[in-house]
Amino acid sequence: MKKVRQCVTLFQVLSPHYLQPQRSPQLRQWVVKRGQSTITAEAGAASTVPNTATNRIVGRWLLGCSGLVAGAIVLGGVTRLTESGLSMVDWHLVREMKPPQSQAEWEAEFSKYQQFPEFKILNHDMTLSEFKFIFFMEWGHRMWGRLVGLAYILPTVYFWKKGYFTRSMKGKVLGLCGFVVFQGLLGWYMVKSGLEEKPESYDIPRVSQYRLSAHLGSALLLYCASLWIGLTQLLPAHKMTETRHIMQLKRFAKGTAGLVFLTALSGAFVAGLDAGLVYNSFPKMGERWIPDDLLAFSPTLKNFFENPTTVQFDHRILGISSLAAITGLYLFSRRMLLPRRAKIAISLLAAMAYGQVVLGISTLLLYVPTSLAATHQSGSVALLSLAIWVLAELRKMPK
């Protein structure tokens, strides 16, 4: 009997109802609500810090921005090919967003254009309707650039306030936004070079090939950085054993991507000097493999940036070298076990490389028609995109 009383006493001690026999229903409800509010607050706090969901949002945003930059590159190429880039002879951040409306406004704009070398030397018989076409080409390119700026800056402010960025990501997006502003200023600096009077020169007025290549190069850097960060936010890194062959493949892929970038950049010198029109034959340049005027300028280094023959020759060599490197990368990758996405990326890179070479040769042989030349330039962006994708697939797992 004594043992039974001891068991009952022990049960009462262990029972929570016995421990709190005087707790009222109101007190229990308060405890439950307090616990629920604590859980809700913790969940709310967790949703404001970077996580997988917010990383995907940021990744999609940056991919969208890179798409807009690619559009700006293509549109800029078409503007250059149609010789429209010098039609707007001044620069205003807001005021020029509204194009001329009335006949008087159009005539005033045309009158400003007539004061500069391009009209005096090249387009002295241009009509107002023809001027409207080149004006709207340049205006469209500038408005697209402003759209790119807004697409970077406004979401950056929003995501920053929402807490979507890690410390490292904050530095990256600030760099991207700063680069967008720099790119706009560099564009006007480039245009100014084509508006300057050059009494000692009888050449066709054009922008400096140095400034053109800087403008295109900075746009490509902005594009590559945005695409890379976007892909790394969206695509999980593969778990690959870091074997010697894998490490060699990664180094090979990085070198190949650098070569593709350099080839695309050399295209700016080809465009800036109209070098695509000097030797319209392939594989030889005229009757020779190496033309006589390859090093006609002095000093020798000047030929690589100002001699149209040398610039075209260099672009050919870089293009063929890129094709050879991509082919080697594809063949080397077939010897090892890679994730499925990585195999697809490398295969598409190889296919695009051959298509791009065909486009380049066709553009040359047909004397640089606008539509084909614009497609060739778009192809260079596509090829660079695939090279960045390959690097994203082969990147190392974060620790």
Complete DSSP assignment for 95-129: GGGS---SHHHHHHHHHHHTTSHIIIII-TT--HH
Q: Which residues pair with 285 in a beta bridge?
A: 288
Cβ-proximal residues to 49 (8 Å cutoff; 6+ apart), any chain: 163
What pLDDT, on the 0 to 100 scale, is given for residue 94? Answer: 87
Please report the pLDDT score of residue 44 as a whole number.
45
pLDDT for the residue 389: 97
Contact status, residue 80 vs residue 216, Cβ threshold 8 Å? no
Q: Which pLDDT value is given to residue 41?
A: 39
| pTM of the predicted model as reported, rounded to 2 decimal places | 0.85
pLDDT at 240: 82
CA distances from 185 to 91, 180, 239, 377 (A): 10, 9, 43, 23
Judge if the upstream peptide bond of residue 283 is cis by omega within 30 degrees of 0: yes
Token pair 């090249």 in the structure block, residue: 122
Q: Nearest Cα to 267, choosing from 173, 165, 360, 134?
A: 360
b/e map 233-259, b = 16+ CB within 10 Å: bbeeeeebeeeeebeebbebbeebbeb
pLDDT in tens, 243-290: 899 999 999 999 999 999 999 999 999 999 999 999 999 999 999 999
Give the list of residues 6+ apart from residue 25 with CB closer than 8 angstroms, or none.
Answer: none
- Rounded to whole angstroms, the Cα distance separating 25 from 183 reads 67
pLDDT the model gives residue 35: 52
Please identify every stretch of the chain with a pLDDT value under 70, giving residue numbers as ranges.
1-49, 199-202, 397-399
pLDDT at 48: 56
Q: What is the amino acid identity at position 317?
A: I
Q: Retrieve residue 165's tokens.
A: 């960025």
Residue 37 is predicted with a pLDDT of 47
Q: How far apart are the first and last CA of the chain?
A: 65
* Closest residue by Cα to residue 278 from 320, 304, 311: 311
Per-residue pLDDT of 341-366, as tens digits, reads 999 999 999 999 999 999 999 999 99
pLDDT of residue 399: 55
